[in-house]
Amino acid sequence: MELFYPVTCVAALIVCCVLGWITRPKVDASAGMSEGFRQFQMKYLLAWGICVAADWLQGPYVYALYDSYGYTREENAQLFVCGFGASFLFGTFVAGFADSMGRKRAVLLYCFLYTVSCMTKHVNAFPMLMLGRVTGGIATSLLFSAFESWLVSEHNVRHGFQPKLLSYNFSMMYFVNYLVAVCTGLVGDTFAGSIKQTAIVGNIYFGGYLMPFDAAIVCMLIGGTYVALNWDENYGDSQDVMQQIKSFGSGSIMICTNLRMALCCITIALFESSMFIFVFNWTPVLKQGTETPPFGMIFSTFMMACMIGASVSVLCSNIQAKKVLCGALILGSTMMLMPAYVGMSDALSMYNLWAFVGFEFCCGVYFPSICTLKSEAVPESHRATIYNLFRAPMNAIVVAVLLVNPDLMTTFKLVSSMLLLSGVTMAATLVLPEPRECPYSKGENTPLQAGVAKEV
């Protein structure tokens, strides 16, 4: 094994631990961080950590499981496209109903759908696995909208905590996210190797790569029970089905006619689609020689880089989120120049690894920053609906790239270009005037039209 892999991992671990200690949650009455805020934060982070652990536990083993069932690379691609397609076609609308059905109920629906998705993995039948990708795609949309919508509403409306603490909450949310990813990455192989994968009855299997999925089901049961017993419900506007469907159209018009929201949507689509495309393609870039790289160590290093980015986001909390985000996006584009234009070979693996670690650092900065910007721009009454509309173009881009399947060099040129364009898009928000203080910025339920700022 090349020495630069463990050296990079250890260096990331040291920096991660130091910044994690510096940015640890503290009770500071002068900043509004009271004991009540600390208890609220812990209640949210505990549920978030348990539920997101299910996603991290099974994620690295999906492709490997399909491969163990004998499916070809093309069939694997079809299943992955189905997952993103379901998130785009169905997840956007299902998760959008969280405003009217309740954000807590949407979180519980996430737990249920993800459990169903994991259970389908035990059946070696293409239609059943396709069903699992559909339920998993819808659950993913709920994961990245319902939790965040519940947090913003509770923070602003029910408790009335200081606005700057919301940005701090987002940073801690993603710090916990990456910490969980590191931990699940370390234990996932243990689960997968604990019991040999065997057929029990017909096409129904147990053990092997299925064990991380079973562990994810346990996390869903624990997390769902905790949320059901400890979280309060909150809503956007109460609407029936037809009204909710109409609100999707109104939300789309709102995004198109509000320059700040439109730029936010474009940034999300370009960056997050680039991130998912990177996830599908970093492995062959580093696997250029005869030896297999330590992928588990590399994955943990990536997640520690994300944690470092989340900690830096906390340290930069006094700087405007859009300025921090703009810098992170430009840096991410620069990192992707290495595989895109310098090259991919065994001799260049060390430099490509460091470029990828730099990009993952940018991911760690991105998510808390974009969450802060979304919380400021989107009306409380339709928060979950618009959050999911933000994700729809991203899913469409990922599906399109997966279907075209360009070569590696072209793929990373595309990724670098999209990241640069996302940075330029975010830079455009720097010249926009600061939005006036609106009722919905304080978390009040207002008509959808109240969120349409006169910026264009």
Average pLDDT value for residue range 255-268: 89
What is the Cα–Cα distance from 158 to 336, expressed in whole angstroms? 43
Per-residue CA distances from 396 to 97, 148, 208, 274, 424 (Å)? 20, 22, 33, 12, 21
Let me know: does 119 contact 220? Beta carbons within 8 Å.
Answer: no
Residue 26: strand, helix, or coil: coil
Percent of the chain with pLDDT strictly greater than 70: 88
What is the Cα–Cα distance from 69 to 199, expressed in whole angstroms? 11
Q: Where are the domains of the chain?
A: 34-451
Q: At the top level of CATH, which class does the domain 34-451 belong to?
A: mainly alpha
pLDDT in tens, 131-152: 999 999 888 888 888 898 899 8
pLDDT in tens, 161-194: 887 788 888 888 888 888 898 888 778 778 888 8
pLDDT of residue 377: 82
Burial 369-382 (b: 16+ CB within 10 A, else e): bbbbbbbbbbbbbb
Average pLDDT, the chain: 84
What is the Cα–Cα distance from 376 to 266, expressed in whole angstroms? 16
pLDDT in tens, 69-111: 988 867 877 888 888 787 777 766 665 677 778 889 999 999 9
Q: Maximum CA pair distance of the chain?
A: 64
Burial 248-272 (b: 16+ CB within 10 A, else e): bebbeebbeebbbbbbbbbbbbbbb
- Helices 163-192/35-58 angle, 10° precision: 30
